[in-house]
Structure 1
Amino acid sequence: MKQCGKGKKTAAGVVFILLISIVGVTTGAPQEPTPQSRGILEYEPKSHDFGNMSEGEINSTIFDIWTSGGCCELIFDLTWSCPWVTVFPTSGVTNGEHIPITVTIDTTGLDYGFHGCGIQITTNGGGDGIFNVTVMIISHDTPWLAVYPQSYYFGVILPNITKSTEFDIWNSGTGTLSYTLSWSESWVTVSPTNGISTGEHDPINVTIDTTGLVPETTYECYISIESNGGNKLFFLWFTIGTIPEISIQNIKGGLFYIKTVVKNSGNADAIAVDWKITLSGNGLILLGKETSGRISIVPAGEERTISSGVILGLNDVEVTVTLQNDQTLPILEKRTAKLFLFFIKI
């Protein structure tokens, strides 16, 4: 009888475990929808032809993105590689509602002839697509001034340096285009200052010299381009930034190491200062010939100590400490030293 009772308990336990397993399967966590069960990418129209346009014109069109069928929201992103095209918005979410996408083209700088651009549409599983735009740039029946680009920003730059950029001038019409450039700022030079074009692109070099310009000031210059095919402007601007003033101080020897101080006496933080301590000469250098590193920041008015690796050697050597920073010119200091195996005398 005892054995029979034990068998009933065992059977009941098995049934209980099976019931738990079934419940676990039927009430488990919801499964992530497969790509096939998601909504499908829909968009209309599939393309747009802007037709005939002249160089230097702007035009726009709109297409819609939405989702149909399936479950869940559709997330989309738009990418393209044509600099004369802009798209807004570049991403979005739809649960079925239509999202309007504005595509704008700027024909400034385009040569006459056919131009096309594919805007890639990618989604989170609802399929991908391409919206194509095309335009035909027509030639004028007279000389026509074309300039590209028409502006340039040099950014925040240092005083007492020179920087350059280029833009192109050409004739997008017929015949011969004659042009002349003029400006009023003494810190700008342009070469060449005049020319002719029957269609070929003429590169124009623009150089700025920031010597004597005031820190924390924004400077602008308009270069006027006058021609027998119309007039245009090239605009440039930049800001003179405050700069750090870093220096190398107190190069010292001692047991095993050479240490020195990097000081910033300027009125701006020094960012990403690369440093190097190098030993050279006729002495015997067993260890520590070169050590390098980077100081992430030396705040204005503060200093940081840097150290070589372990140095072992004998006799006379030359110690060179260098600092490199994008905000300032390279800095270099040299000292003679004598190695007494693990002691460095400077």
Structure 2
Amino acid sequence: MTNRAFRVVVPALALFLTAFLISQATAAKSTAAKVTSLPGVTAFLTDMIPDDPERAGTFFAELKKGGANTVILGPPETGYTAGRSTLPDIVSRAHTAGLKVYLIVPVRNMPDVLAVKPRWEDMKYDLNSGTIQPTGRLDLFKDDVVDYLSSRIKDLASTGVDGILFGTDLYYDDVEAMTSDTLQTYANRFNAALIPGRAFARVENLQGGLVVVEYGAGFREWAEMKRDRLIVVIQKIMDDVRAEHAGMLFGLPLHEEGLASAEAALNRFAYDMEAFRQLNVDLYWIAIKHRRMRARKGMGYKESMEALARIAQAGNEAVKAPSRALIILQTASSSGKVLPYSEIEKTASLARKGGNPYLAFTAAEERSLPAVLTKKLFKGNDSPR
């Protein structure tokens, strides 16, 4: 009797889950259809707002004179971490200068939160030791974590910012999401346990560390489960925030490595652009810092420019709607020296390869670019599409 009941329940549960996921995807598609056009975006990204209020106002006014209509508060790698207390004044001064404010918000890399809520930490499978280890990141499979993120982003939205760009820490690595609760969720969903030794079928020492080069039993379902969870989390946060701030713009980060191969992206990062396009996000953004890439990988000028062009083209083609791609470009070296203007113009030209994205440029008070140059760079970005 028990076995017969089990055989009846499992197919029924599978049908229920299938129907639920289809309904979720349909709902996302219907909401996404509402994003029909965007106003022009001409933006500068900065992570260095002058402390003095008057200087901050002057800085924003200079950005406006340079042709910008938006300032993005970063940096891209970590998101805005300067604290909420000063944000209302920053937003007010930017608005006074005629600028909208987009905020890059960290999602999983939040050590201050984990210091207070250690049980919210995600776990990973350590390829060296074969043991489960902490990641230092939030676990998005915990509903309490998602509720916290919604509340936090709603609070940030209440400062008057015009847009929220999810941070690049959003996505999962292939070895992450290994808490006991998440493993149990997998077992319940697929009626089988995930065994890391089988899921990570072959590991090699590449680029100074162990990397999974072949995936085995159960891993594909594991990656898809993480992707599905990301879709639910992103949509919930956006819905919660927009319920109180109806006009809030949202941007999703493009994954640089994930753009190279859709198959590899899903496996390594739970990144599935085809699925994410169903979400009602307004922008897909990426920062391509070609000078940093050149230094890190030992590239020459030509090689780094070719890499920039490849990434930009892949990003433009992945979005499949040029008006919804935002590419942030580097204008200064790691030492803070402004790059040659010809090099900046070249990066802007290459970033438009394969599409017509919105462009943003890094900026700081002490290294402003000539307005005649930036207006030229922004040409074509300022009209609705």
Higher strand share: 1
Q: TM-score range by the shorter chain?
A: under 0.3
Higher helix share: 2
TM-score norm. by structure 1 comes to 0.20
TM-score norm. by structure 2 comes to 0.18
